[in-house]
C-alpha cells in the first residue's frame, strides 16, 4: 500500500464555546437564567452579585441606545460594549420578586405584616382529593371494618371525585384486605357497602363519591336547605328528565314538569350552580410565577419598550480577586485566575448580548403590533418569525429562542412573546387578517348573541364574511373549539 499526503481545502462551521454559551442563555426564561447566574457566580470567584454599587455597563446605557418601539430599533453596533479591563459588569436589580403593581411576581417574603403567604404555605405539597378525604375519614368515628371499606372506596375515586369501580369489585378488595379478620365470610354485604358509601357522600366536596352525574347532582341538591326555592323540582328534573335536559328539549321539560318558561329558567339556574366535577376544586396546583422580561408603557403618543430591571440580579467582576491576577504567587494560580477572568468576561458579554437581542426583538414586535396595544386583540396583525428575523437581521431560530418563555408586561396584561405571532386569513380587499384577531371577533360575536338563538358556525362565518374576512365554517369551528367555546346547541338557553 502506497502512502501519500493530500491537501484538501474546505469550510466547516463550528460553534465556539462562547457562542454556545450565548445561545444557551438566550433560550432560558428569566427564572431559569437567574438560577444559571447564581450557579455561575458560585463557581467563578471573579463574579459577584452586586447589591448596591453602580456598574459601568448598565441597563440604563442599553436603554439609552434603544429607541421607542414606535419608530426605531435597537442598534447592536453601538459603542456600548464591555471593556477589556477589569471593571466589567452589568446592571440588573437584585430583586427576585415581581414588580409592584404587575401582579406577576412572587410577592414579598416578609410575612410579618400579614400580606404574604407563609413559607410553609408557599412550599407545601399540593393536597390531592384522596388526602382531603382521608383527613375527614380520620375524624369520623367508624369501625375498623367500615373504615377499610371507606378507604377502599376513596382510593377508587377518579380526579373528578366519581367512583369508578362497582361496589362488588370494592367488596372483593375489602375481603382480600381483611382476610382472616372478617366477622363472617359474607362480609361486606351490599347494604353495608351502601351505608359506608352514603356516609362518604356527605364529605366535602359536595357530590363526591357519586357513581354518575345524576347521583352527583342529587347529592348536592339534597344538601341544600329544604326551603331553597325550586329545590324539589330540580331534584325531579335530575332524577327523571336528565336525558331531556342534555338534549336541550326545553319544551318537553316544561310539559313534563308542568312549569312555565320562567320557572324552568329558575330551575335550570339552580342546577347550573352545582358542580358536575366536585374533585376538580380540591386539587391545589402549585402557582407558576411569571417574571416579565420586557415592560411596555405608553409615553405620550408612543409605546416605550425597556427591559424589566427587576427580573435579574446585578452581576459584576469581583475587584478583590481581579486584583490578584497580576500578583499570583505561582504560575498555576495565575493561570487559574486568568482563566476565570476570561470566562467571567465571556459570561457578562453573553448576558449583555442576550438582553440587547431581547430588547431589539421586543421593540420590533411592539412596532408591528401597535394596533393590539391601542385597541386589543381584534386589531392584531398577522406576524411570523421570518418577518421579525428579516427586520432585525437575525436567523429565524434566534427569534424562536428569544420569543420562547420570554414575557412582556403591557397595560393589557402579561403575554409570552410568541402570543404576538399568528397565521393569516385573506380579506375581500386583498389584505390579511390575523387568526388571533379572528378568534377575538368570534368570541365577541358569541358574547353578544341571543341565548335563545345562539349563532351557528355557519352563521358566524357569514358574519365574518360580511366584515370582509374570508373564512370557512370549518375554520370557525376550529377556532371556536380552540377557545373551548361549546357548539351552538350547547350554548342555547331559555333566557
Residue range 243-302, pLDDT digits in tens: 999 888 889 999 999 999 999 999 999 999 999 999 988 766 666 778 899 999 999 889
Answer whether 184's CB lies under 8 Å from 175's CB. Answer: no
Query: Which uninterrupted H or E stretch holds 392?
Result: helix 385-392
**Other beta carbons within 10 Å of 422:** 20
Give the CA distances from residue 379 to residues 46, 373, 436, 467, in Å, rounded to whole numbers and listed in that order.
49, 9, 9, 14
Averaged over 319-332, what is the pLDDT?
81
Taking only the tens place, the pLDDT of each residue in 451-480 is 888 999 999 999 998 888 888 899 899 989
Taking only the tens place, the pLDDT of each residue in 308-322 is 988 888 888 888 888
24, burial (CB in 10 Å: exposed 0-12, middle 13-18, buried 19+): middle
Q: Give the alpha-carbon dihedral of 426, 428, 430, 432, to 10 degrees.
A: -30
Confidence band of 64 (pLDDT split at 50, 70, 90): very low
Whether the pTM exceeds 0.75: the reply is no
Averaged over 363-383, what is the pLDDT?
92
Cα–Cα distance measured from residue 84 to residue 82, given in angstroms and rounded to the nearest whole number: 7
Answer whether 147's CB lies under 8 Å from 188's CB. Answer: no
Worst-scoring range by mean pLDDT, 44-48, 82-86, 123-127, 181-185?
Answer: 82-86
Distance of CA 274 to the CA centre of its chain: 27
Structural domains of the chain, with CATH: 17-100+292-377+397-406 (no CATH), 129-281 (no CATH), 422-491 (1.10.10.60)
Can you tell me which residue has the cell 326545553?
250
351: Cβ–Cβ under 8 A, 6 or more apart, which residues? 25, 37, 90, 312, 315
- Provide DSSP, 309-338: TTSS--EEE-HHHHTTGGG-SSHHHHHHHH
H-state helical runs in 139-278: 144-155, 167-177, 190-200, 213-222, 231-240, 242-246, 250-257, 261-272
Averaged over 436-446, what is the pLDDT?
91
126: Cβ–Cβ under 8 A, 6 or more apart, which residues? 283, 284, 285, 286
Q: What percent of the chain has pLDDT over 70?
A: 79
Amino acid at each position: 500500500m502506497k502512502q501519500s499526503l493530500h491537501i484538501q481545502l474546505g469550510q466547516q462551521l463550528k460553534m465556539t464555546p462562547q457562542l454556545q454559551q450565548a445561545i444557551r442563555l438566550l433560550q432560558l426564561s428569566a427564572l431559569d437564567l437567574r438560577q444559571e447566574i447564581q450557579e455561575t457566580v458560585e463557581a467563578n470567584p471573579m463574579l459577584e452579585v452586586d447589591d448596591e454599587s453602580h456598574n459601568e455597563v448598565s441597563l440604563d446605557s442599553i436603554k439609552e441606545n434603544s429607541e421607542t418601539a414606535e419608530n426605531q430599533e435597537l442598534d447592536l453596533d453601538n459603542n456600548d460594549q464591555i471593556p477589556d479591563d477589569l471593571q466589567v459588569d452589568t446592571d440588573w436589580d437584585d430583586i427576585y420578586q415581581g414588580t409592584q403593581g404587575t401582579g406577576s411576581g412572587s410577592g414579598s417574603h416578609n410575612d410579618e405584616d400579614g400580606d404574604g403567604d407563609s413559607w410553609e404555605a408557599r412550599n407545601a405539597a399540593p393536597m390531592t382529593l384522596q388526602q382531603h378525604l382521608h383527613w375527614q375519614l380520620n375524624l369520623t368515628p367508624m369501625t375498623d371494618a367500615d373504615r377499610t371499606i371507606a378507604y377502599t372506596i376513596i382510593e377508587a375515586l377518579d380526579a373528578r371525585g366519581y367512583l369508578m369501580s362497582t361496589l362488588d369489585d370494592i367488596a372483593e378488595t375489602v375481603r382480600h384486605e381483611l382476610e382472616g379478620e372478617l366477622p363472617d365470610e359474607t362480609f361486606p354485604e351490599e347494604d353495608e357497602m351502601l351505608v359506608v358509601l352514603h356516609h362518604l357522600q356527605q364529605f366535602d366536596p359536595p357530590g363526591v363519591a357519586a357513581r354518575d352525574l345524576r347521583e352527583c347532582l342529587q347529592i348536592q341538591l339534597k344538601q341544600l336547605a329544604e326551603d331553597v326555592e325550586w329545590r324539589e323540582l330540580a331534584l325531579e328534573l335530575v332524577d327523571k328528565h336528565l336525558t331531556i335536559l342534555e338534549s336541550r328539549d326545553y319544551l318537553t321539560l316544561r310539559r313534563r314538569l308542568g312549569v312555565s318558561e320562567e320557572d324552568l329558567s329558575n330551575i335550570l339556574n339552580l342546577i347550573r350552580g352545582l358542580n358536575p366535577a366536585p374533585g376538580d376544586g380540591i386539587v391545589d396546583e402549585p402557582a407558576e410565577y411569571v417574571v416579565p422580561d420586557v415592560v411596555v408603557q405608553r409615553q405620550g403618543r408612543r409605546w416605550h419598550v425597556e427591559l424589566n430591571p427587576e427580573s435579574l440580579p446585578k452581576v459584576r467582576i469581583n475587584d478583590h480577586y481581579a486584583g490578584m491576577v497580576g500578583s499570583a504567587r505561582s504560575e498555576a494560580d495565575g493561570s487559574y485566575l486568568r482563566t476565570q477572568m476570561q470566562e467571567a468576561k465571556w459570561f457578562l458579554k453573553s448576558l449583555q448580548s442576550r438582553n440587547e437581542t431581547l430588547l431589539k426583538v421586543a421593540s420590533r414586535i411592539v412596532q408591528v403590533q401597535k394596533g393590539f396595544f391601542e385597541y386589543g386583540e381584534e386589531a392584531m396583525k398577522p406576524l411570523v418569525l421570518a418577518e421579525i428575523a428579516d427586520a432585525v437581521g437575525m436567523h429565524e431560530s434566534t427569534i424562536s429562542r428569544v420569543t420562547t418563555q420570554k414575557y412582556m408586561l403591557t397595560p393589557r396584561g402579561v403575554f409570552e412573546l410568541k402570543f404576538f405571532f399568528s397565521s393569516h386569513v385573506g380579506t375581500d380587499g386583498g389584505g390579511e387578517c390575523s387568526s388571533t384577531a379572528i378568534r377575538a371577533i368570534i368570541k365577541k360575536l358569541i358574547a353578544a348573541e341571543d341565548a335563545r338563538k345562539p349563532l351557528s358556525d355557519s352563521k358566524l362565518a357569514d358574519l365574518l364574511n360580511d366584515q370582509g374576512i374570508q373564512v370557512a365554517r370549518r375554520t370557525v369551528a376550529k377556532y371556536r373549539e380552540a377557545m373551548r367555546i361549546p357548539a351552538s346547541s350547547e350554548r342555547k338557553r331559555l333566557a
